[in-house]
Amino acid sequence: MNQIPHLQNMPRHLRELAAQRQLYAKAKQVFGWQFVVAGPLTCILGVSALAFPNIKEFIALWGIVVVLVDLFWVTPWQKRLRENAAKIQELFDCAVLGLTWNPLKTGPEPEPELIKEQADLYEPRRSQMPPLENWYPVSVGELPLRLGRLICQRSNCWWDSKQRRHYAGFILFLTITIFVTVLLLALKGGLLLSDFLLQVVAPMSPVLLFGLRQFCDQRDSANRLDKLKTHAETTWKKALVSEDGAEAESRNLQDEIFENRKKAPPVLDRLFRRLRNNFEAQMNHSSEHYVAEAEQALNANAPHLPEL
């Protein structure tokens, strides 16, 4: 009853998905370097300060430089990559879900040259990554557009929130483990408080800042997505009985989905690939549930012809 399953697999829209995935991959690479510099490398330097006290001033300076470079250069670069990826994903969603582009929220549409460039860069990696086809559940094609679209939007929110909560827990565990390990080594070495602050806390500050910031950002993003999912479910109940305002509600919901994509930090591909199969099975099961609920409601509300 709608064209979502067909439109999402058109070559033009598959290129858009490839481009946004490539841009997100770049953002994840930047994130990976942030993690290496602020995590393992800083920890190695912190442990080195315990063994070689004469380099403690250099290591403290290193920690400050890492924080400043991350704050003023690396993080803004990553944000630009995420925003471009979010815009291309929004272009895909608008075309596939039958929504109008909202320039007030998203600004101008992404340039076709950018999409072509990034899609071409993605092509060599395509066989190693999960497929782009059938981005949304095929079963939504059995419903009117207003209902199929809401299922897709709800699936977006559910999937993203779920993986971010997993990731936030992993980041928090890793940050605490690193800090406690170095702290125990410092206590075992019998450091004084002043030496502990200079040789451990100062060089470890990038690790703590990076880890806690990632945890908070991922948790906040998941909380926003849960609220959007709840709103999608409320809108769903209204859309089952009436078409009035359904498209406007979906447009408003899409604005918030875009905003979250733009702000949310990336999730590493390794976790995404590990969770993908289970999440996809759960998402398809949920979609089938909503399709069945919609078909029952539509049949109940359909006018019945009198018997002859």
Nearest CA among 83, 103, 98 for reference residue 259: 83
296 Cβ neighbours under 8 A, 6+ residues apart: none
- CB-based contact 303:171 (threshold 8 Å): no
> For residues 295 and 299, what is the distance between their CA atoms, to the nearest angstrom?
6
Contacts of 137 (CB under 8 A, 6+ apart): 151, 152, 155, 283, 284, 287, 288
Domain ranges of the chain: 4-273+280-296
Structure confidence at residue 42 (pLDDT) = 65
The amino acid that residue 250 corresponds to is S
Q: Residue 39 has what pLDDT?
A: 62
Query: What pLDDT, on the 0 to 100 scale, is given for residue 51?
Result: 65
Which pLDDT score, from 0 to 100, does residue 305 have? 42
Contact by Cβ (8 Å): 257, 156 = yes
Asked whether the beta carbons of 72 and 223 are under 8 A apart, the reply is no
pLDDT along the chain (308 residues), means of 10: 92 96 89 70 65 67 74 84 95 96 94 96 88 92 94 94 90 82 71 62 69 88 95 94 91 96 82 74 89 89 51
The whole-number pLDDT of residue 219 equals 93
**pTM exceeding the 0.75 threshold for the entire prediction:** yes
Q: Where do we find the tokens 């990076």?
A: 210
